[in-house]
A and B are shown apart, each in its own frame.
Chain A
Amino acid sequence: MADLSINFCGIKSPNPFWLASAPPTDKAYNVVRAFEAGWGGVVWKTLGEDPAAVNVSSRYSAHYGNNREVLGFNNIELITDRSLTINLREITQVKKDWPDRAMVVSLMLPCEEHYWKNMLPLIEATGADGIELNFGCPHGMSERGMGSAVGQVPEYVEMVTRWCKAHTKLPVIVKLTPNITDVRLPARAALAGGADAVSLINTINSITALDLDRMIALPVVGNSSTHGGYCGSAVKPIALNMVAEIARDPLTKGLPISGIGGIGNWRDVAEFIALGAGSVQVCTAAMLHGFRIVEGMKDGLSRWMDEKGYRSVAEFSGKAIPNTTDWKNLDMNYQVIAHIDQGSCIQCGRCYVACEDTSHQSIAQHIEASGARRYEVIEHECVGCNLCEITCPVEDCITMVAQDTGKAYMNWTQDPRNPRREAR
């Protein structure tokens, strides 16, 4: 059996599955249920200065798929709305009762050193394994100069991280906001400030939908609404890219990453780890289905690791990074062509209309007298864009077949068609 245990910047955990700082980690009751279900660790719901934050009523909204499955999730909640004393007491107790699980405490405080200096010893006293700096919350708190308002300014990120490193011996994880043009900059700043790791992504500014009768966005609070933070399955591609950007940045190479954003099953987890994450955090999927989803994640990941011969998480962590590169390094001589398996084609015509209307008119439609339809790829027209494969509802019916062009690797910097090519 594969070994799922990890040591993430000095924080040990029986498996890489942590719950992200959010309602699932809001209090002892939830966290204990999560540990019972098998989660390896939690990042406790963000603590702040007393008095605790106050939340509004009606807080969440969703972006739905056709079958009412939740694709994306939006919230306007603030950090913890419970008092510091209660939170610290519960953290102490839970860590004592579950010594083998990772207990990380998330923090958000104003940008003045004394706040951090006073708070950090209190966190250390709980026995927690690490702290996470919430520089990501994009709504509410950012209007008060905290959360993403800090995360968007690399100088602030570096400064606060440095304060924290000065006032605690615990590992410091800096949680980044995706609401920024180039996520590598705050990651570099965190590293410069002495961070032991970064975690990402926090939520993305969003409006999911409107009540068109009342002309108010969702979620509705009285007669108005505000933008919230977007998360869930829909943000996974954004998060994966941001993780990869940091993992392959030479300036932050080797900086441990806790991957967050849209993780819901073992495959998502494997993908984040392959792109450089050393642990993963989950919020929305647990909020939608409960803590039990960790079972499928554990079983699925360890079976897949066994199958591939990976004995530990570290063995495949970052394995896909060398294959993730800049556009300019891609092979201009590589060519794929669509192939339709007529046996599994259900004749829906989706590939045809997609290619005909919006791509390269490379699929021919034949309608026989009987009414039977047949779709055939016009191979010399096909540019290998994958659109037909993507639009086909039948898995493996359309495959993109690599062609033997007989030509050697050549990238854009070497390509004679490139007017600004560097090499010859």
Chain B
Amino acid sequence: MMIESLKHLPRPQLSNAELSGQFTDLAPALSARQAIIESARCLYCYDAPCTRSCPSEIDVAGFIRNIHDGDINSAAHGILKQNILGGSCARVCPTEILCEDACVRNHHAEGQPVKIGLLQRYALDHMKFASHPFTRAATTGRKIAVVGAGPAGLSCAHRLAMLGNDVVIFEAREKPGGLNEYGIAKYKLVGDFAQKEVEFLLAIGGIEIRYGQTLGGNLRLKDLHGSFDSVFLGLGLGASRRLGLTGEDAPGLLAAVDYIAALRQADDLTQLPVPARAIVIGGGNTAIDIAVQIRLLGAEEVTLVYRRDAAKMTATGHEQDIAKANLVSIRTWAQPQQVLLDKAGRVRGMRFEKTRMEAARLTGSGETFDIPAEAIFKAIGQGFDCADIDGLERDGDKIRVDDQFRTCLPGFYAGGDCVAPGQDLTVQAVQHGKLAALAIHRDLMAKMEAA
């Protein structure tokens, strides 16, 4: 995948092997012995806070006890029955604000949470099942369309298949996985893990994926309405927000997610354009991800600019530490004012205005400064965009659903990033997919009984 907007920039200095070596696991896997020692630290709390804070309701204390008892398959089964993408969640979840934040071992007299994410990964890396660990219930004869093969869609499809339904997934791109395949930082989900996990998930049977099928393009809601008993939309957030400045489309300025997608898909990392100096705008995890990855590819100076103070950044402290460890400089209290272009009309830097809080409102101070750079990456959030869902009510720009993930159209459900509730996290999308599948199944069964 070529990045049009940056094609004028140089290619990395290092070889493909050296570059690939930069993108190994951020948190290395536990050895068998580390897993035993770590699992022994768990107190097997009752009504455990870690489980309460897991968006996918994994019985954390239970699976850690299984590991400690030497029963890896039961640990894995316990994780997967709640979260079929537990392998990627073990790697990408911001555990520092979820289960590990809740762990009682964080208490000031204790110091360190149990490494729950790594233990989860350990169980799933070492499980040994002769066949897929879940079986399908007797067929219901119902057929359900899922749009989007991201975490929400996949999780929904798996649960529906398990309950005895047949599923067809319609996916716009040429590979499944959603942001697991195209968006997550390369050092969190390494190699082809995302594809391997989808293969494992599909092994339950009863799920067909059709690629190159875009809702609003070659696929219409009303077609689905006619041919399926229910429809689940797991569309994610396709659109990158705009800065609203002139020069926004100049060569050198692009959305962080587009670059990350190209990076994740590249077989040969030496073909990626890499700026010597880059600016990243935003304060979330995507901003950290792009800043760190572009550094790992060889950019010399990467400056992340955020308009408030570091404590307000949505990137967690842990994420900010990763950026600092990779020598990304973080500048706070400044907002973009002007894209600076060279004679050829390409990005040569950006002018920022300093900001401050005045009467509880963020305001520009009028004072400006310039940062020279060959590339500017926008990481100011993703928005929902999809043609052909006009019939659906919105909550802001996202799809409105009730607590059973039903949209306002009967038979249509939605979940994951494209709906309003919750945080935009992989684990949240998996949970939405699972709960929506249960709701779809329940509603269909109720209809069958009534008929």
**A interface residues (Cβ-Cβ under 8 A, vs B):** 67, 265-267, 289-290, 292-293, 295-296, 299-300, 303-304, 344, 394-395
Return the chain B residue nearest A293 by Cβ: B65
Known A267-B69, A296-B71, A300-B74: A394·B62 in contact at CB below 8 Å? no
Rank and list the top 10 A-B pairs by shortest CB-CB distance, nearest first.
A299-B74, A300-B71, A265-B69, A303-B73, A300-B74, A296-B66, A296-B65, A290-B46, A289-B44, A300-B69
Measured CB to CB, the closest approach of chain B to A116, in angstroms, equals 40
Does B33 interact with chain A (Cβ within 8 Å)? Answer: yes
Known A289-B44, A299-B77, A395-B33: A266·B71 in contact at CB below 8 Å? yes
Q: Report B64-104 CB contacts with A as 1/0, cut-off 8 Å.
A: 01100111011001100000000000000000000000000
How distant is the Cα of A304 from the Cα of B33 in the complex, in angstroms?
21
Does B36 interact with chain A (Cβ within 8 Å)? Answer: yes
Return the chain A residue nearest B61 by Cβ: A292
Chain B contact surface mostly = helix
The 27 sampled A-B contact pairs (Cβ below 8 Å) are: A67-B40, A265-B69, A266-B71, A267-B69, A267-B70, A289-B44, A289-B46, A290-B46, A292-B62, A293-B65, A295-B62, A296-B65, A296-B66, A296-B74, A299-B66, A299-B77, A299-B78, A300-B66, A300-B69, A300-B71, A300-B74, A303-B71, A303-B73, A304-B71, A394-B33, A395-B32, A395-B36
Measured CB to CB, the closest approach of chain A to B36, in angstroms, equals 7
Return the chain A residue nearest B40 by Cβ: A67
How distant is the Cα of A149 from the Cα of B32 in the complex, in angstroms?
49
Contact of A296 among B40, B46, B62 (CB under 8 A): B62
Q: Report B228-258 CB contacts with A as 1/0, cut-off 8 Å.
A: 0000000000000000000000000000000
Query: What residues of A have a CB within 8 angstroms of the CB of B71 in the complex?
Result: 266, 296, 299-300, 303-304
Interface size class of B (residues with CB under 8 A): 10 to 19
How distant is the Cα of A266 from the Cα of B70 in the complex, in angstroms?
10
Q: Is the CB of A296 within 8 A of B33?
A: no
Measured CB to CB, the closest approach of chain B to A13, in angstroms, equals 21
Query: What residues of B have a CB within 8 angstroms of the CB of A344 in the complex?
Result: 33
Measured CB to CB, the closest approach of chain B to A340, in angstroms, equals 16
**B interface residues (Cβ-Cβ under 8 A, vs A):** 32-33, 36, 40, 44, 46, 62, 65-66, 69-71, 73-74, 77-78
Return the chain B residue nearest A304 by Cβ: B71
How distant is the Cα of A377 from the Cα of B126 in the complex, in angstroms?
32
Query: What residues of A have a CB within 8 angstroms of the CB of B40 in the complex?
Result: 67
Measured CB to CB, the closest approach of chain A to B315, in angstroms, equals 35
User: 20 more A-B contacts (CB under 8 A) besides A299-B74, A299-B78?
Assistant: A265-B69, A266-B71, A267-B70, A290-B46, A296-B65, A296-B66, A296-B69, A296-B71, A299-B66, A299-B71, A299-B77, A300-B66, A300-B69, A300-B71, A300-B74, A303-B71, A304-B71, A344-B33, A394-B33, A395-B36
How distant is the Cα of A296 from the Cα of B77 in the complex, in angstroms?
11
How distant is the Cα of A67 from the Cα of B43 in the complex, in angstroms?
10
How distant is the Cα of A267 from the Cα of B66 in the complex, in angstroms?
11
How distant is the Cα of A27 from the Cα of B109 in the complex, in angstroms?
38
Query: What residues of A have a CB within 8 angstroms of the CB of B78 in the complex?
Result: 299
Query: What residues of A have a CB within 8 angstroms of the CB of B74 in the complex?
Result: 296, 299-300, 303
Return the chain A residue nearest B69 by Cβ: A265
Query: What residues of A have a CB within 8 angstroms of the CB of B33 in the complex?
Result: 344, 394-395
Measured CB to CB, the closest approach of chain B to A291, in angstroms, equals 11
How distant is the Cα of A292 from the Cα of B59 in the complex, in angstroms?
11
Measured CB to CB, the closest approach of chain A to B88, in angstroms, equals 24
How distant is the Cα of A303 from the Cα of B133 in the complex, in angstroms?
12
Measured CB to CB, the closest approach of chain A to B413, in angstroms, equals 31
Query: What residues of B have a CB within 8 angstroms of the CB of A395 in the complex?
Result: 32-33, 36
How distant is the Cα of A67 from the Cα of B37 in the complex, in angstroms?
12
How distant is the Cα of A67 from the Cα of B44 in the complex, in angstroms?
14
Measured CB to CB, the closest approach of chain B to A24, in angstroms, equals 15
Interface-central residue, B36, B46, B69, by most chain A CB under 10 Å: B69
Return the chain A residue nearest B74 by Cβ: A299
Query: What residues of B have a CB within 8 angstroms of the CB of A394 in the complex?
Result: 33
How distant is the Cα of A135 from the Cα of B44 in the complex, in angstroms?
34
Return the chain A residue nearest B44 by Cβ: A289
Return the chain B residue nearest A397 by Cβ: B33
How distant is the Cα of A299 from the Cα of B73 in the complex, in angstroms?
9
Query: What residues of A have a CB within 8 angstroms of the CB of B32 in the complex?
Result: 395
How distant is the Cα of A23 from the Cα of B293 in the complex, in angstroms?
58
Measured CB to CB, the closest approach of chain B to A231, in angstroms, equals 19
How distant is the Cα of A292 from the Cα of B51 in the complex, in angstroms?
15
How distant is the Cα of A289 from the Cα of B46 in the complex, in angstroms?
8
How distant is the Cα of A43 from the Cα of B330 in the complex, in angstroms?
65
Return the chain B residue nearest A300 by Cβ: B71
Interface-central residue, A265, A267, A290, by most chain B CB under 10 Å: A265
